[in-house]
Amino acid sequence: MLKKILFRNSTNFQFIFATLGALVGLTALCLSFQLTLDVQSFHSGEEDLFGPNSVVIQKKVTKLSSLGMNNTDFTDEEIEGLRQKEFITDVAPFESADFRVALSEVKGDGLPPFYADMFFQSIPDRFLDLDVNWEWNEDSEFVPIVLPRDFIMIINYGIAQSQGFNQISEELLMAARLTIHIKGESKNDKKIGRVVGFSQKISSILVPKSFLDSANEEFGSGNRIQPNRIFITTVDDSYGELEELMDEMNLDIAKSAIDVAKIKTIIGVIIGIFGIAAILIMLLSLMGFVQYSQLVLSKASYEIQTLLRLGYPIKSIVKTFIKQMTVIFGLITAASITIMLVIKLFVVNTWLDKNGIHLEESSIVPTIILALFCFGVFILSNLLNIRKTVRNLGKIQ
Amino acid sequence: MTITFNNLLPFPLEEYPHGNESVWKNNFELHLPKKIVLNASSGKGKSTFVNMIYGLRKDYSGELLIDGKNIADFTLDDWIELRKEKMSIVFQDLQLFPELTVFENLQLKNELKQHKTDEEMFEMLELLGIGDKKNQLCKNLSLGQQQRVAIIRALLQPFELLLMDEPFSHLDEQNASIALNLISKETDANQGGFILTTLGSYHGFQYEQELNL
């Protein structure tokens, strides 16, 4: 009955305006928050192997380098300089083999006969996050190898056709053993190797550092080789600094590697702006609701004052209002979460799928918590406003 | 309940002379339960007197104490508690909820303390001759009928003091007398008292004390 007399004079215009505002604002806020979470979790398979912010840098090969007048090696000072950069968190020069390497098939393992000169390089194990055994020691059955993904493309779509042998699947290449021919300074040897993974980011043939160190010692000339490629890990969103560094040191960086970081940052900024707009809409609708309840309260001022005169506690009058607000906000919150999910699943995800972008689904629990937090803020601010207004009405009676 | 008046005088009545018999600008106490009538002509401050005791007017000099406590120190919550537990009122302007039916108006008040059953409330309506108006909106009743609803509403709580500001102004003598008997009976049942203001008619009732303005 309290509800009947207190809400008797409430107008619909303000209510619809405030409800729509809150609905749009909360939906936009939830959506931008959820998409931010999704984008945070965005990564290609490659980044799984080498971490999201790792790139390989090397100096550009120029005409002068071809003439032997310009060295592409990194000096110790340059490496130390990289370590000093604030946006770089880890620096690891590639180690190269100090001996010649060739690979051939192991008969009976399914690969066509081949023999190819190769090279080996290694990076510290901490950069690798392969789900395979990357450990190597003297007793290991084989030497694990990571090949560039482009390598198998060249074989399958170039060499295989021109040489007239069958194409090789990644699975076959990973299942088959390879013979590693080592031609050292003073002696030669053969070892068994096996491809354990492919990399998009590193155009090099990688073996475990432990193997390279041991092989360099056994077969190498003993001369120290300056690295010409360096693996670095940067902090988030530092592609700007990275590009600056590229210009400064005349570096070459696999563009695709930084594109992901770039896109993530740009999307992050766009979603951020969208999120700020959503917060503004939310604040406006919050004000709308506070004004709406103010209006309802002032239109019901006679009823509120009379109730207080009849001995109705302030608490029960406030409770009647808040109950109603809770139902309204509850519905708005539930509707916002539903609309957000519908937009995410049927609009955003469909669009992403169409464009070949796969975002890993992140949990919606944080978004629901955010929506509930907004719900709490709405209720609390209205509660404080209503209580104050009812008290004031009681005092001026 | 004891109500103490210490030189009480509403600001609007400051310029008028007040005699020794007047409640204004004198020191005296009212000890309840007692049935009291306040008889005065129009404009002397009857409603002001009632509203001051009920905590609705604060524009006065002097002191008004209820059970030894200065009402100037009461908070809004104190007043609400007092109105719920110890003090009831029939406003001169009735202050009913016009959009609610007669019975809803009564239920709204009765919900606070569950003082009467629905049957008892209906019996009161019948007694005052408006049983058939039970489900009519208050705004559609005549003033006399509305006055009877307001009287019944005031009886739907326990009270030590019932304030009534010209409660029979729109009732004929016969209906006023029936209503006054009901009020008296309920006052006794609550072991409380009342203060009734009137423009001159005593409605054939024997009051225990009479106040003047």
The whole-angstrom separation of Cα B102 and Cα B146 is 8
Name which residue leads in pLDDT, A391 or B203.
A391
The confidence score (pLDDT) of residue A83 equals 87
Cβ-contact A318, A387 below 8 angstroms:
yes
The CA-based dihedral angle spanning residues B131, B134, B140, B145, taken in that order and rounded to the nearest 10 degrees: 40
For residue range B61-91, what is the model confidence (pLDDT) as tens digits? 999 999 999 999 999 999 999 999 999 999 9
- Contact B95/A at CB under 8 A: yes
Chain B residues with CB inside 8 Å of A394's CB?
76, 80
pLDDT in tens, chain A (397 residues): 888 888 876 667 778 888 888 899 899 889 888 888 877 666 544 444 455 567 788 888 777 666 666 678 888 888 888 888 888 888 888 888 888 999 998 888 888 888 888 889 988 877 765 566 788 888 888 999 988 888 888 888 888 888 777 888 888 888 889 999 999 888 889 999 998 888 776 778 889 888 988 888 888 887 777 888 888 888 766 777 777 888 888 787 765 556 666 676 777 788 888 888 888 888 888 888 888 888 888 889 999 999 999 999 999 999 999 998 899 999 999 999 999 999 988 888 888 788 777 666 778 899 999 999 999 998 999 999 999 999 999 887 6
The whole-angstrom separation of Cα A122 and Cα A345 is 42
- Which letter does DSSP use for residue A6 in this model? H
Task: List b or e across B29-50, with b for residues whose CB sees 16 or more CB atoms inside 10 angstroms.
Answer: ebebbbbbbbbbeeebbbbbbb
Mutation target to probe the A interface, by most A beta carbons within 10 A, among B97, B111, B114, B157 is B97
Lowest mean pLDDT among A164-168, B20-24, B32-36: A164-168
The confidence score (pLDDT) of residue A359 equals 67
Cβ-contact A50, A233 below 8 angstroms:
no
Question: Which residues on chain A place their C-beta less than 8 Å from a C-beta of chain B?
Answer: 1-2, 4-5, 8, 303, 306, 308-314, 391, 394-395, 397
Distance of CA A369 to the CA centre of its chain: 22
Length of chain A: 397
Q: Are B56 and A309 within 8 A, CB to CB?
A: yes
Q: Which residue has the tokens 């919150």?
A: A333
Mutation target to probe the A interface, by most A beta carbons within 10 A, among B54, B75, B80 is B80
Mutation target to probe the B interface, by most B beta carbons within 10 A, among A310, A316, A391 is A310
The whole-angstrom separation of Cα B45 and Cα B144 is 23
- Contact B97/A at CB under 8 A: yes
Indicate the residue type of B49. Answer: F
The confidence score (pLDDT) of residue B46 equals 92
The whole-angstrom separation of Cα B163 and Cα B16 is 25
The confidence score (pLDDT) of residue A237 equals 67
Residue B196: which of B34, B3, B82 has the closest Cα?
B34
Q: What is the mean pLDDT of chain B?
A: 93
Distances (CA, A) of A89 to A82, A264, A267: 9, 19, 24
Instruction: List the single residue in B85, B100, B109 with the smallest CB-CB distance to A5.
Output: B100
Mutation target to probe the B interface, by most B beta carbons within 10 A, among A309, A391, A395 is A309
Name which residue leads in pLDDT, B152 or A354.
B152
Q: Are B112 and A310 within 8 A, CB to CB?
A: yes
Indicate the residue type of B86. Answer: K
Q: Cβ contacts of residue B189 below 8 Å, gap of 6+?
A: none
Residue A292: which of A1, A11, A5, A28 has the closest Cα?
A11
Cis peptide leading into B33, omega within 30 of 0? yes
Q: Are B157 and A303 within 8 A, CB to CB?
A: no
The whole-angstrom separation of Cα A29 and Cα A272 is 10
Q: Which residue has the tokens 């009765």?
A: B110
Instruction: List the single residue in A2, A306, A395 with the smallest CB-CB distance to B95.
Output: A306
The confidence score (pLDDT) of residue A44 equals 46
Residue A83: which of A209, A216, A181, A230 has the closest Cα?
A230
Chain A residues with CB inside 8 Å of B80's CB?
308, 311-314, 394
Q: Are B99 and A5 within 8 A, CB to CB?
A: yes
The whole-angstrom separation of Cα A201 and Cα A209 is 18
Kindly write down the DSSP assignment for every residue of B52-116, as one continuous string.
Answer: HHTT----EEEEEEETTEEGGG--HHHHHHHHHHTEEEE-TT----TTSBHHHHHHHHHHHHT-S
Q: Are A397 and B56 within 8 A, CB to CB?
A: yes
Backbone φ and ψ of B8, nearest 5°: -70, 130
Which tokens hold the place of B176? 């006023």
Mutation target to probe the A interface, by most A beta carbons within 10 A, among B53, B59, B76, B78 is B76
Q: Are B108 and A1 within 8 A, CB to CB?
A: yes
Shortest Cα–Cα distance, B80 to chain A (Å): 5
Instruction: List the single residue in B97, B104, B107 with the smallest CB-CB distance to A303.
Output: B97
Chain B residues with CB inside 8 Å of A309's CB?
54, 56, 83, 89, 91, 95
Lowest mean pLDDT among A160-164, A203-207, B125-129, B145-149: A160-164
Nearest CA in chain B to A316: B112
Map A158-219 to HEC letters.
Answer: HHHHHHCCCCCCHHHHHHCEEEEEEECCCCEEEEEEEEEEEECCCCCCECCHHHHHHHHHHH
Chain B residues with CB inside 8 Å of A311's CB?
80-81, 83-85, 112, 157
Nearest CA in chain B to A315: B77
Nearest CA in chain A to B81: A311
Cβ-contact B9, B62 below 8 angstroms:
yes
For helices A365-395 and A255-299, give the axis angle rounded to 10 degrees: 20
Q: Which residue has the tokens 């004929």?
A: B172
DSSP bridge partners of B38: B197, B211
